[in-house]
Amino acid sequence: MKSLKVIALFIISLLNAELTHYERGVLLYEQRASKAEGLNANTEIIDQAINEFLKGYKTSGSELSSGIYLLRCYYYKGKFVAEDDQKKKDFFNQGKALGEKLIELYPEAAGAYYWYLVNLGSWAEVYGILSAAKEGVANTMRKVFN
């Protein structure tokens, strides 16, 4: 039995060696809820996914796909990992800033728009109505939908 585990780990490590940062990030992202306690997720796996997507974002050919997954990760961390409003603000700010960059670089990418708006809406929810109004969140959302 022990040798089977060793062989399985060896095969997994070989497969892992051939995966791109983006692909490793996706595998980790899909496991993000493991070790969760109720609605509070463990930060370890999502942090590993973010690190892989950040590397993928800097790699030619996977900037957009890695960027969209980063937006998803920032949303997830803000909703299910952050324990206080300040941490939520930090994650949603990261998602908001990255979303703006992705939309500028890839104006035809529907996924970038969608996850940008998800982060923007969550940002507005945490900051409150007045801050969202001052920031022009409603106008930004209208522009994106038009």
Residue 85 pLDDT exceeds 90 = yes
In the beta sheet, which residues pair with residue 40?
A: 37
Site of tokens 């507005």? 124
Give residue 35's pLDDT band: very low, low, confident or very high (50, 70, 90): confident
Question: What share of the chain in percent tops pLDDT 90?
Answer: 60
Q: Which structural domain range is residue 59 located in?
A: 20-145
Domain-embedded: residue 113: yes
pTM over 0.85: no
Q: By the 8 A CB rule, do 88 and 78 touch? A: yes
Compute CA 52 distance to the chain's CA centroid, rounded to the nearest angstrom: 11
Domain-embedded: residue 52: yes
Number of domains within the chain: 1
Domain-embedded: residue 27: yes
Whole-angstrom CA distances from 90 to 1, 55, 109 are: 46, 20, 24
Read off the CATH number of the domain in which 121 is found: 1.25.40
Q: Which has the higher per-residue pLDDT, 90 or 3?
A: 90
Domain-embedded: residue 54: yes
Give residue 95's pLDDT band: very low, low, confident or very high (50, 70, 90): very high
What pLDDT digit, counting tens, does each position of 51-73 carry? 999 999 999 889 999 999 999 99
